[in-house]
Amino acid sequence: MNEVKSIAESEKEIIEDFSLFDSWDEKYEYIIELGKKLPLLNPVYRTDDHIVKGCQSTVWLGSSFRDGKVFYEADSDAIIVKGLISLLIRILSGHRPDEIIQAQLECIKVIGMASHLAQTRANGLLAMVKQMKNDALAYQLQNQLNQAE
Amino acid sequence: MNMNVTSGIESGFDIKDIRQHFPILQRQVKGKPLIYFDNAATSQKPQIVLDALSNYYGHYNANIHRGIHTLAEEATAAFEETRDAIRDFIHAGHREEIIFTKGTTESINLVAYTWGRANIQDGDEILISNMEHHSNIVPWQILCKEKNALLKIIPVNDEGELDMEAYKKLISHKTKLVSVVHVSNALGTINPVKDIIRLAHQAGAVVLIDGAQSAVHLDIDVAEMDCDFFAFSMHKLFGPTGVGILYGKKDILENMPPFMGGGEMIKEVHFDKTTYASLPYKFEAGTPNIADVNACKAALVFIDKIGKENLRQHENELLAYATRELKKIDGLHIIGNAKHKVSVISFIVDKIHPQDLGILLDNSGIAVRTGHHCTQPLMQRFGIPGTVRASFSVYNTTEEIDTFVLALKKAIKMLA
Q: Is the pLDDT of residue A124 over 70?
A: no
Assess B353–A contact: CB distance below 8 Å, yes or no.
yes
Per cent of chain B over pLDDT 90 is 92
Query: Do both B329 and B257 map to the same domain?
Result: no
Assess B360–A contact: CB distance below 8 Å, yes or no.
yes
Torsion of CA B138, B140, B144, B150, to 10 degrees: -110
Say if the Cβ atoms of B363 and A122 lie within 8 Å: no
Given B371, B386, B414, which is nearest A32 (Cβ)? B414
Say if the Cβ atoms of A56 and B414 lie within 8 Å: no
pLDDT category, B6, cuts 50, 70, 90?
very low
Query: Do both B252 and B351 map to the same domain?
Result: no
Range 15-54 of B in CB contact (< 8 A) with A: 30
Of the candidates A55, A66, A145, A149, the residue annotated as catalytic is A55
Q: Is the pLDDT of residue B119 over 80?
A: yes
CA distance B300 to B43: 13
Query: Do both B260 and B327 map to the same domain?
Result: no
What would the 3-class secondary structure string for chain A be? CCCCCCHHHHHHHHHHHHHCCCCHHHHHHHHHHHHHHCCCCCHHHCCHHHEEECCCCEEEEEEEEECCEEEEEEEECCHHHHHHHHHHHHHHCCECHHHHHHCCCHHHHHCCCHHHHCCCCCCCHHHHHHHHHHHHHHHHHHHHHHHHC
pLDDT for A4:
77
Domain range annotation of chain A:
7-148
pLDDT for B4:
42
Task: Compute the radius of gyration of chain B from its Cα atoms.
Answer: 22
Q: State how far the alpha carbon of B351 is from the alpha carbons of A13, A51, A80, B81, B311, in Å.
A: 32, 20, 13, 52, 36
pLDDT for A122:
55
- Quick check: is B9 in a domain? no
Return the CATH number at B242.
Answer: 3.40.640.10
> Average pLDDT in the B338-348 region?
98
Could you check whether the bond before residue A97 is cis, i.e. omega within 30 degrees of 0?
A: no
Query: Do both B63 and B186 map to the same domain?
Result: yes
Q: Is the pLDDT of residue B346 over 50?
A: yes
Given A24, A58, A80, which is nearest B356 (Cβ)? A80
Assess B414–A contact: CB distance below 8 Å, yes or no.
yes
Closest CA relative to residue B190, chosen from B214, B210, B167, B221: B214
Query: Do both B236 and B257 map to the same domain?
Result: yes
Q: Coil, strand, or helix at residue B301?
A: helix
Minimal CA separation from A1 to chain B, in Å: 31
Query: Do both B65 and B162 map to the same domain?
Result: yes
Query: Do both B229 and B340 map to the same domain?
Result: no
pTM for the model stands at 0.93
Give B-chain residues touching A78 at CB under 8 angstroms: 353, 355-356
pLDDT for A119:
57
Give B-chain residues touching A122 at CB under 8 angstroms: 371
Query: Do both B60 and B121 map to the same domain?
Result: yes
Dump pLDDT digits (tens) for B21-42.
999 999 999 899 999 999 999 9
Dump pLDDT digits (tens) for B58-107.
999 999 988 889 999 999 999 999 999 999 999 999 999 999 999 999 99
What count of CB pairs under 8 Å joins A to B? 41
Closest CA relative to residue A111, chosen from A27, A5, A26: A27
- Quick check: is B48 in a domain? no
Assess B415–A contact: CB distance below 8 Å, yes or no.
yes
CA distance B185 to B55: 33
Chain A residue at shortest CA distance from B373? A56
Q: Are B344 and B188 in contact (CB under 8 A)?
A: yes
Assess B354–A contact: CB distance below 8 Å, yes or no.
yes
Q: Is the pLDDT of residue B187 over 70?
A: yes
Does domain A7-148 correspond to CATH entry 3.90.1010.10? yes
Q: Which residues of B are catalytic?
A: 374
Minimal CA separation from B176 to chain A, in Å: 34
Q: State how far the alpha carbon of B131 is from the alpha carbons of B137, B226, B335, in Å.
A: 10, 22, 12
pLDDT for A125:
75
Query: Do both B273 and B138 map to the same domain?
Result: yes
Pairing mode, if any, of strands B175-181 and B332-335?
unpaired
Q: Are B365 and B321 in contact (CB under 8 A)?
A: no
CA distance B305 to B302: 5
CA distance B180 to B228: 12
CA distance B185 to B213: 6
Query: Do both B178 and B321 map to the same domain?
Result: no
Please report which helix (H) or strand (E) contains residue B391, including its range: strand B387-391
CA distance A112 to A135: 26
**Residue of B32, B359, B362 to mutate when probing chain A, most A C-beta within 10 A:** B359
Assess B412–A contact: CB distance below 8 Å, yes or no.
no
Residue where a domain terminates, one of B272, B304, B336: B304
Q: Are B171 and B164 in contact (CB under 8 A)?
A: no
Q: Is the pLDDT of residue A123 over 60?
A: no
Closest CA relative to residue B52, chosen from B300, B287, B236: B300
Query: Do both B208 and B246 map to the same domain?
Result: yes
Dump pLDDT digits (tens) for A27-72.
999 999 999 999 999 999 999 999 987 667 888 999 999 999 999 9
Q: Is the pLDDT of residue A1 over 90?
A: no
Closest CA relative to residue B213, chosen from B233, B199, B238: B233
pLDDT for A9:
94
Phi, psi of B268 (to 5 degrees): -140, 140
Give A-chain residues touching B30 at CB under 8 angstroms: 24
Give A-chain residues touching B359 at CB under 8 angstroms: 28, 80
Minimal CA separation from A119 to chain B, in Å: 15
Q: Are B297 and B316 in contact (CB under 8 A)?
A: no
pLDDT for B76:
96
CA distance B403 to B364: 9
Closest CA relative to residue B222, chosen from B203, B248, B188: B248
Give B-chain residues touching A79 at CB under 8 angstroms: 352-353, 356, 415
Give A-chain residues touching B355 at CB under 8 angstroms: 56-57, 78, 80-81, 123
What count of other Cβ atoms lies within 10 Å of the Cβ of residue A110?
A: 15
Lowest mean pLDDT among A3-12, B125-134, B342-351, B398-407: A3-12
> Average pLDDT in the B37-53 region?
98
- In the DSSP assignment, the letter for residue B352 is B
Q: Is the pLDDT of residue B1 over 50?
A: no
**Residue of B28, B29, B353, B388 to mutate when probing chain A, most A C-beta within 10 A:** B353
> Average pLDDT in the B251-261 region?
95
- Quick check: is B376 in a domain? yes
Minimal CA separation from A31 to chain B, in Å: 10
Number of domains chain B is built from:
2
Lowest mean pLDDT among B156-160, B264-268, B302-306, B343-347: B264-268
Chain B residue at shortest CA distance from A77? B353
Burial B89-111 (b: 16+ CB within 10 A, else e): bbebeeebbbbbbebbbbbbbbb
- Quick check: is B164 in a domain? yes
Residue where a domain terminates, one of B238, B270, B304: B304
> Average pLDDT in the B261-267 region?
88
Query: Do both B240 and B384 map to the same domain?
Result: no
Torsion of CA B51, B54, B57, B63, to 10 degrees: 50
If you average pLDDT over every residue of chain B, what do you get?
Answer: 95
Q: Coil, strand, or helix at residue B126?
A: strand
- Quick check: is B327 in a domain? yes
**Contacts for B68 with CB less than 8 Å, ≥ 6 apart:** none
Q: Coil, strand, or helix at residue B292?
A: helix
- Strand ranges (E), B155-304: 175-181, 206-210, 229-233, 244-248, 266-269, 274-276
- Quick check: is B7 in a domain? no
Q: Are B156 and B162 in contact (CB under 8 A)?
A: yes
Residue B75 sits in which domain range?
Answer: 53-304
Say if the Cβ atoms of B355 and A81 lie within 8 Å: yes
Given B30, B386, B415, which is nearest A79 (Cβ)? B415
- Quick check: is B313 in a domain? yes
